[in-house]
Structure 1
Amino acid sequence: MKKVAVVTSTRAEYGILTPLIRAIEKDSDIELELIVTGTHLSKKYGYTVSFIEEDGFPISHKIPIMTEGNLPCDISETMANALKGFAHCFVNDPPDMLVILGDRTEMLSVAAAAMNEHIPIAHIHGGEVTQGAVDDCIRHSLTKMSFLHFTSTEIYRKRVIQLGESPSRVFNVGALGAENILHESLMAESEIKNILEIPASMNYAVVTYHPVTLETFMAEKQTKELCMAMHQEHELFYLITMANADSGGDDVNRILSEYAKKHIKNTKLVSNLGMKKYLSAVKYASFMLGNSSSGIIEAPVLGTPTVNIGDRQKGRFMAETVITCEPTHESIVYAINAARARKHKPMYIYGDGKTSQKIVEIIKRYLFEKEISLKKNFYDCGVIV
Structure 2
Amino acid sequence: MSSRRRIAVVTGSRADYGLLRGILARLEAADDVALSVIACGMHLAPRFGETWRAIEADGFSIAAKIDLALGDDRAETIARGTGIGVTGFADALPKLAPDILVVLGDRFEVLAAAVAATLLNIPIAHIHGGEITAGAFDDAIRHAITKMACLHFVAAEPYRRRVIQMGEQPDFVFNVGAPGLDMADTAPTLTRTELFAKLGIAGPERFLLVTLHPTTAQPQTDAANVGALLGALAGIEDRSFIFTGVNADPGYRAIDDAIRAFVAACPGRAHLFTSLGSERYWAALRLADAVIGNSSSGILEAPAVGVPSINIGDRQKGRLRAASIIDCPADSLLILESLRRIFEGRFQPDPAVVPPYGRGGASEAIAGTLRKIAIERAFPKHFHDLADVPAPPEPTV
Mapped to 2, the partners of 1:337 and 1:352 lie a distance apart of: 28
Mapped to 2, the partners of 1:47 and 1:202 lie a distance apart of: 29
Mapped to 1, the partners of 2:232 and 2:207 lie a distance apart of: 14
* DSSP 3-state at the match of 1:217: helix
- Please identify, of 253-262 and 177-186, the stretch whose mean Cα deviation from structure 2 is larger: 177-186
Q: Percent identity?
A: 35
| Equivalent residue number for residue 256 of structure 1 | 259
Q: Which amino acid aligns with 1:108?
A: L
Q: Which amino acid aligns with 1:28?
A: D
Aligned counterpart in structure 2 of residue 371 of structure 1, from 377, 386, 390: 377
| Equivalent residue number for residue 357 of structure 1 | 364
Mapped to 1, the partners of 2:365 and 2:205 lie a distance apart of: 41
* DSSP 3-state at the match of 1:62: strand
- Please identify, of 175-184 and 307-316, the stretch whose mean Cα deviation from structure 2 is larger: 175-184
1:366 to partner: Cα distance: 2.4
| Equivalent residue number for residue 122 of structure 2 | 119
CA contact (8 A) 1:206 1:288 kept: yes
| Equivalent residue number for residue 60 of structure 1 | 63
| Equivalent residue number for residue 75 of structure 2 | 72
Mapped to 1, the partners of 2:200 and 2:379 lie a distance apart of: 54
Matches within 5 A, 1:169-188: 169-188=172-191
- Please identify, of 24-33 and 355-364, the stretch whose mean Cα deviation from structure 2 is larger: 355-364
| Equivalent residue number for residue 136 of structure 1 | 139
| Equivalent residue number for residue 86 of structure 2 | 83
Mapped to 1, the partners of 2:100 and 2:188 lie a distance apart of: 31
* DSSP 3-state at the match of 2:377: coil
C-alpha change, 1:121 and 1:129, in structure 2 (3 Å) is same
CA contact (8 A) 2:136 2:216 kept: yes
Aligned counterpart in structure 2 of residue 157 of structure 1, from 155, 160, 165: 160
Matches within 5 A, 1:237-248: 237-248=240-251
RMSD: 1.7
How many residues are aligned here? 384
Aligned counterpart in structure 1 of residue 223 of structure 2, from 220, 223, 230: 220
* DSSP 3-state at the match of 2:85: helix
Matches within 5 A, 1:18-33: 18-33=21-36
Q: Which amino acid aligns with 2:67?
A: P
Q: What TM-score, normalized by structure 2, do the two folds share?
A: 0.93
Matches within 5 A, 1:343-354: 343=348, 345=351, 347-354=354-361
- Please identify, of 127-136 and 343-352, the stretch whose mean Cα deviation from structure 2 is larger: 343-352
Mapped to 1, the partners of 2:245 and 2:256 lie a distance apart of: 6
Mapped to 2, the partners of 1:6 and 1:157 lie a distance apart of: 22
Q: What TM-score, normalized by structure 1, do the two folds share?
A: 0.95
Mapped to 1, the partners of 2:370 and 2:54 lie a distance apart of: 26
2:330 equivalent to 1:330: no
Q: Could you tell me which runs of 5 or more consecutive residues in structure 1 were left unpaired when the two chains were aligned.
A: none
CA contact (8 A) 1:220 1:255 kept: no
Aligned counterpart in structure 1 of residue 315 of structure 2, from 294, 312, 317: 312
* DSSP 3-state at the match of 1:65: coil
CA contact (8 A) 2:293 2:310 kept: yes
Mapped to 2, the partners of 1:210 and 1:363 lie a distance apart of: 32
**1:282-305 CA distances to partner (integer Å, 9 max, x unpaired)?**
101100010000001111111110
**1:216-262 CA distances to partner (integer Å, 9 max, x unpaired)?**
23322321221111101232211111110011111110000011001
1:311 to partner: Cα distance: 0.6
- Please identify, of 215-224 and 254-263, the stretch whose mean Cα deviation from structure 2 is larger: 215-224
Mapped to 2, the partners of 1:329 and 1:379 lie a distance apart of: 49
CA contact (8 A) 1:202 1:236 kept: yes
**1:186-244 CA distances to partner (integer Å, 9 max, x unpaired)?**
32332112223554754210000011111123322321221111101232211111110
C-alpha change, 1:201 and 1:235, in structure 2 (3 Å) is closer
Q: Could you tell me which runs of 5 or more consecutive residues in structure 2 were left unpaired when the two chains were aligned.
A: 393-397
Mapped to 2, the partners of 1:145 and 1:253 lie a distance apart of: 34
| Equivalent residue number for residue 395 of structure 2 | none
Q: Which amino acid aligns with 2:238?
A: E
CA contact (8 A) 2:10 2:103 kept: yes
Aligned counterpart in structure 2 of residue 382 of structure 1, from 371, 383, 389: 389
Q: Which amino acid aligns with 2:377?
A: E
Mapped to 2, the partners of 1:234 and 1:200 lie a distance apart of: 11
| Equivalent residue number for residue 100 of structure 1 | 103
CA contact (8 A) 1:39 1:66 kept: no
CA contact (8 A) 1:108 1:138 kept: yes
* DSSP 3-state at the match of 2:185: helix
**1:107-140 CA distances to partner (integer Å, 9 max, x unpaired)?**
1111000000111100000111111011111111
CA contact (8 A) 1:183 1:353 kept: no
1:354 to partner: Cα distance: 1.6
1:361 to partner: Cα distance: 2.1
